[in-house]
C-alpha cells in the first residue's frame, strides 16, 4: 500500500492570482467548486483531501474511515470478503478516491461492473437474475468459482464535424465467457458501469430536495426539449419511497445506502443494511460459507466509512479566469449543456457536519434522469429509470482525472476517451446540444473542452 493514499491534509486556500483585464473577469468565487469546503491541490492526491473547513476534532474518525476504505477484505487471516466479489477493497476501483478504467480485455481485476436483472411485473426496475443475482461477480475463492469473465471489444464509429474534421468513436460490444454457473435466464438485462469519483458527495447529499425537484420538467412544459425527472427508489433503512441521488441511474437515496450496497455487491461484505450474502440460493457453496456469519461490517464501521466519504473535498478550479476558459464557459451555456449540467446550488443545513451547511457549490449536475438516446441506452430499467435514462453526472473534478488516475475514460461504460467523444455520444434530450457542438468552429470546441478541464 502506498503511503500517499493515507495523505488527508487540509490544504489552505491560496489567494487567486491577478485576473487579466480583458475580457471581463468571471464572478468572484467562481473557482470555489465546493464553497468554503474547497481545497487547492492539483497533484495526484487532489481527490484525497478533507474538507477545507473541517473541524480538527474529526481527524481520528476520518482516519478510521480511510482505513476501512483501503482495507483488503480478502486478506488473511480473517478474509472477511465474500466468496464472490468484484474487488478486494473500496480503493481497488476508486483509486486514490477517483476512478480506474475498463480494460480492452476485461479480466478479474478490471473495475467494470455488470448489473443484471430480469423483467418482472412485480417490480418496475426488474428482479435480480435468478442464478447470478443483481451483479456479475468476476472473482471467486478456492472451491467457489467466479461467476465468469466479461470481454469487451470496440467497433469504430467514424464521423465528421461541420468543418470536415474527422473523428472516431468506439462502440463497445460485450461477451460473457465463460459463465461459471450456466446460462443467464431468458430476457436477462445487463448494464456495464465504471466506478465514479467519490469527491464532493457529502455536498451533493446536502442539496435540498426541493431545489432538485424544482428543476424537474418530466412533461417538458417549457418546450426546450429537456425533461429531466427524479428517480424514486426504496430506502433500505425505512422502506419508504424517496428521492434517488447517487449512482449512474440515481438508484440510491443516501451515501450510507450507496456505500453499504457497494460493500455487499462488490466485496461480498455484509452489514446491518444488507445482511444477506450476495450469492443466490442456486449458488449453494457460496451460501454455505456466508450464511452462518454475523454481518461483517458493524454499524459503527459503516458510519465511519460513510463519514469518510462525506468529508472528501472537491478541488478548486484551475485557470478559471483564463480567456479561453471563459470563452468555453460561454459556449457551454450557448450549446445547451447547462440545461442538464446545472452549474450552481446552495447546500441546506447539515446538523451533524455543519461544515457542509450553507455552501455555494458548483457541481454542474441536476442529479435528475434524462433520456440519452438509443446509442447510450442499456435497455435495463433501474427503479423508475428507464433503459435509456441516466442521471446527469457531476462535472467537478473531471479536469484532474488524468492527473490522479492517469487515464480519461468517460460515460457510464468508459467508452469515451476524451471530453469530445463523451459529448459526441450524447443523444435523446441532449441531441440538440450535441449537434450545436458539432457545428462549432475548432477554436470554440477547444474552448469548451478547456472549460471542462478547468472544473
The pLDDT confidence band at residue 102, using thresholds 50, 70 and 90, is low
Tell me the per-residue pLDDT of 58-80, one tens digit each, with 9 for 90 and over. Answer: 999 999 999 999 999 998 877 88
Query: Which pLDDT score is estimated for 342?
Result: 97
Conformational region of residue 73, where left means phi above 0, alpha means psi within -120 to 50, and beta covers everything else: alpha
Calpha distance 319→451 (Å, rounded): 9
63, three cell numbers = 482516519
**Residues β-bridged to residue 94:** none
Chain centroid to Cα 288, Å, comes to 33
E strand intervals along 161-293: 166-179, 189-193, 232-234, 241-243
Mean pLDDT in the chain? 90
Residue 294 has pLDDT above 90, yes or no: no
Q: What are phi and psi of 297, to 5 degrees?
A: -95, 120
Q: Beta 189-193 vs 113-117: how paired, if at all? A: antiparallel
Chain centroid to Cα 322, Å, comes to 28
Task: Judge residue 429's burial from the number of C-beta atoms within 10 Å of its C-beta, 0-12 exposed, 13-18 middle, 19 or more buried.
Answer: buried
Q: Which residue has the cell 484525497?
A: 48
Task: Judge residue 142's burial from the number of C-beta atoms within 10 Å of its C-beta, 0-12 exposed, 13-18 middle, 19 or more buried.
Answer: exposed
The pLDDT confidence band at residue 101, using thresholds 50, 70 and 90, is low
Instruction: Tell me the CB-side half-sphere exposure of residue 30, using CA atoms within 13 A.
Output: 16
Chain centroid to Cα 300, Å, comes to 25
pTM of the model: 0.91
Query: Which pLDDT score is estimated for 252?
Result: 98
Query: Which pLDDT score is estimated for 289?
Result: 84
E strand intervals along 216-298: 232-234, 241-243
Q: What is the CA radius of gyration of the chain?
A: 22
Residue 43 has pLDDT above 90, yes or no: yes
- Which helix H or strand E contains 345, and what residues bound it? strand 345-346
Per mean pLDDT, which range of 100-104, 140-144, 349-353 is the poorest?
Answer: 100-104
- Read off the pLDDT of each residue in 269-285 and give the average, rounded to a whole number: 92
Q: What are phi and psi of 156, to 5 degrees?
A: -70, 140
Query: Which pLDDT score is estimated for 28?
Result: 63
Query: Which pLDDT score is estimated for 26?
Result: 54
Q: Greatest CA span in the chain, whole angstroms? A: 70
Tell me the per-residue pLDDT of 309-356, one tens digit each, with 9 for 90 and over. Answer: 999 999 999 999 999 999 999 999 999 999 999 999 999 999 999 999
Tell me the per-residue pLDDT of 158-172, one tens digit each, with 9 for 90 and over. Answer: 999 999 999 999 999
Q: Beta 369-371 vs 389-391: how paired, if at all? A: antiparallel
Neighbours of 60 (CB within 10 A): 10
Query: Which pLDDT score is estimated for 111?
Result: 66
Tell me the per-residue pLDDT of 379-403, one tens digit each, with 9 for 90 and over. Answer: 999 999 999 999 999 999 999 999 9
User: Count H helices, E strands: the chain?
Assistant: 12, 10
- Read off the pLDDT of each residue in 33-39 and give the average, rounded to a whole number: 97
Calpha distance 373→322 (Å, rounded): 34
Q: Tell me the CA distances in angstroms from 59 to 40, 56, 197, one per residue in order.
A: 19, 6, 22
Q: Which residue has the cell 457531476?
A: 394
Amino acid at each position: 500500500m502506498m503511503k500517499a493514499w493515507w495523505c488527508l491534509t487540509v490544504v489552505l486556500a491560496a489567494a487567486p492570482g491577478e485576473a487579466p483585464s480583458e475580457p471581463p473577469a468571471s464572478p468572484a468565487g467562481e473557482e470555489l467548486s465546493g464553497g468554503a469546503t474547497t481545497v487547492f491541490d492539483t497533484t495526484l492526491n487532489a481527490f484525497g483531501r478533507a474538507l477545507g473547513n473541517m473541524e480538527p476534532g474529526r481527524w481520528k474518525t476520518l482516519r478510521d474511515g480511510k482505513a476501512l476504505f483501503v482495507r483488503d477484505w480478502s486478506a488473511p487471516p480473517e478474509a472477511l470478503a465474500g466468496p464472490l466479489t468484484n474487488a478486494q477493497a473500496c480503493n481497488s476501483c476508486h483509486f486514490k478516491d477517483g476512478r480506474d478504467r475498463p480494460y480492452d480485455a476485461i479480466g478479474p481485476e478490471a473495475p467494470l461492473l455488470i448489473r443484471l436483472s430480469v423483467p418482472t411485473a412485480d417490480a418496475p426496475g426488474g428482479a435480480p437474475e435468478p442464478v447470478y443475482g443483481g451483479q456479475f461477480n468476476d472473482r471467486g475463492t478456492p472451491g467457489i468459482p467466479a461467476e465468469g469473465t466479461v470481454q469487451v471489444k470496440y467497433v469504430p464509429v467514424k464521423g465528421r464535424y461541420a468543418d470536415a474534421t474527422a473523428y472516431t468513436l468506439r462502440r463497445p460490444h460485450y461477451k460473457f465467457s465463460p459463465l461459471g454457473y450456466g446460462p443467464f435466464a431468458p430476457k436477462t438485462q445487463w448494464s456495464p458501469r465504471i466506478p465514479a469519483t467519490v469527491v464532493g458527495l457529502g455536498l451533493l447529499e446536502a442539496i435540498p430536495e426541493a431545489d432538485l425537484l424544482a428543476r424537474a420538467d418530466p412533461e417538458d412544459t417549457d418546450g426546450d426539449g429537456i425533461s429531466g425527472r427524479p428517480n424514486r427508489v426504496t430506502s433500505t433503512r425505512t422502506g419508504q419511497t424517496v428521492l434517488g441521488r447517487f449512482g449512474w441511474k440515481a438508484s440510491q437515496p443516501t451515501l450510507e445506502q450507496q456505500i453499504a450496497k457497494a460493500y455487499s455487491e462488490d466485496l461480498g461484505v455484509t452489514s446491518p443494511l444488507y445482511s444477506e450474502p450476495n450469492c443466490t440460493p442456486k449458488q449453494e457453496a457460496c451460501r454455505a460459507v456466508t450464511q452462518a456469519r454475523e454481518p461483517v461490517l458493524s454499524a459503527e464501521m459503516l458510519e465511519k466509512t460513510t463519514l469518510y466519504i462525506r468529508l472528501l473535498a472537491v478541488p478548486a478550479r484551475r485557470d478559471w479566469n483564463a480567456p479561453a476558459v471563459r470563452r468555453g464557459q460561454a459556449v457551454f451555456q450557448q450549446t445547451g449543456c447547462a440545461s442538464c449540467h446545472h452549474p450552481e446550488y446552495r447546500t441546506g443545513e447539515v446538523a451533524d457536519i455543519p461544515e457542509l451547511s450553507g455552501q455555494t457549490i458548483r457541481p454542474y449536475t441536476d442529479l435528475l434522469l434524462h433520456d440519452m438516446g438509443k446509442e447510450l441506452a442499456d435497455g435495463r430499467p433501474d427503479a423508475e429509470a428507464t433503459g435509456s435514462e441516466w442521471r446527469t453526472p457531476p462535472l467537478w473534478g473531471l479536469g484532474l482525472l488524468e492527473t490522479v488516475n492517469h487515464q480519461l475514460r468517460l460515460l457510464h461504460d468508459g467508452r469515451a476517451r476524451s471530453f469530445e467523444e463523451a459529448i459526441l455520444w450524447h443523444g435523446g434530450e441532449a441531441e440538440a446540444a450535441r449537434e450545436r457542438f458539432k457545428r462549432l468552429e475548432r477554436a470554440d470546441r477547444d474552448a469548451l473542452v478547456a472549460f471542462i478541464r478547468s472544473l
